[in-house]
Amino acid sequence: MTIVGKIFTVLIFILSVMFLAFSVVVFNTHEALEKQVKTLEADNQTLNADINTQTQEREDALQKLAQEQSARAYAIAALEAELQTAVNERDLISQDLTLIEAENTNLSSALKVAERTKERLSEEVAQIRTEIQDSQQSTDEMFLDVLRLTDSNNAQTAKLQLIVEREKQLVHRLARMNNVLRKNQLDEFSDVHEIPPVLDGIVTAVQKDLLQISLGHDDGIRQGHELDVYRGTKYVGRVQVRETNPSSAVCEIIPNYLRDTIRKDDLVATKLN
C-alpha cells in the first residue's frame, strides 16, 4: 500500500469517527427536540385550557357587567326620580319657610308686646308676693302664738289632771293611814319616835348581856328601841338599843323575854314575823 492509500484510509477512519459523533449528536438532539415538542404540546394544552377558562370568565364578567350596568341604570333612574321628588319637596319647604318667616315676623311683634306685658305682670306679681309674704309672716306669728297658748293650756290641763290624780291618791293614802293609826291605837298627835321601823338584821357579836347588831342609825334605829331575836322560827328573846352607830348598834338583853342563849348570826327584827 502506498502512502496515498494510507492517508485516504486514515482520512476515511477520521471521517467515519466524525460522522459517528455527528450521528450521536443528531440522535440526542432529536430526542431532546421530541421531549421539548411533547412539553410544548402539554403546555399548549394547558394554555388552551387557561384561554378557554379565561374566555368563559370574560364572558361571565361581561354578562355580569351588563347586569350591573342595567341595575345601575335602574338605580340612576330611581335616584333621578328621588332627586326630582326632593326638588319638589325643597320648593314646598321654601314656600313653607317663606310663610314661617312671615309668621315669625308677626310672632316677633307679638313677643315684644308679650314681654312688655310680662314685665308689667312681673312687677305686679312681685308686689303681690311681698304682700303675701307679709301676710304669711303675720299668719305664722299668730299661728305660733296659738301653738304656744295651746301648749301652755295643754300643760296646765295636764298639771291639773296630775294634781287631781295626786289629790285622789293622797286622799286614799290618808284613808289607809288613818286605818293603820286606828288599828295601832294611834292618832295624829301620838309620839312615834319610840316606835322602830320594820327592819331585819343579824347579831354580829355577843358579850355577856350586850350584843352588836347590823342595824344602825342610818337604818332608822334609835336609842331605846326594842328588837326581837330569833333563830329560824324559834323565838330567842328581846333586846333594847343602848348606843347607835351609822351601820350598827349596841343592844342590852332584856332578861324577862330571854328564852335561849343569844348567839352570833341570830336574826333580829323590829317586829317578829
CA dihedral 54, 58, 63, 68 (to 10 degrees): 120
Encode pLDDT of 41-67 as tens digits: 888 888 888 888 888 888 888 888 888
CA separation for the pair 241, 210 (Å, rounded): 10
- pLDDT category of residue 228 using cuts at 50, 70 and 90: very high
Q: Is the pTM of this model over 0.85?
A: no
**Rounded Cα gap, residues 71 and 75, in angstroms:** 6
Whole-number pLDDT of residue 189: 57
Q: Is the dihedral of CA 264, 265, 267, 268 positive or negative?
A: positive
CATH of 196-269, one of 3.20.20.70, 3.30.70.1250, 3.30.450.150, 2.40.10.340: 2.40.10.340
Unique residue bearing C-alpha cell 329560824? 232
What are the residue boundaries of the structural domains of the chain, listed by start? Answer: 196-269
213 contacts 199 by C-beta, under 8 angstroms:
no
List pLDDT tens digits, range 132-180: 888 888 888 888 888 888 888 888 888 888 888 888 888 877 777 777 6
pLDDT for 1: 57
Judge whether residue 76 has pLDDT over 90: no
Tens digit of each residue's pLDDT (9 = 90 or more) over 232-270: 889 999 999 999 999 899 999 999 999 889 999 999 987
Sign of CA dihedral 238, 244, 247, 252: negative
- CA separation (Å) from 239 to 28, 31, 108, 225? 164, 162, 116, 8
State pLDDT tens for residues 180-221: 666 655 565 555 555 666 778 999 999 988 999 999 988 888
| pLDDT of the residue at 273 | 39
Is the per-residue pLDDT at 272 higher than 50? no
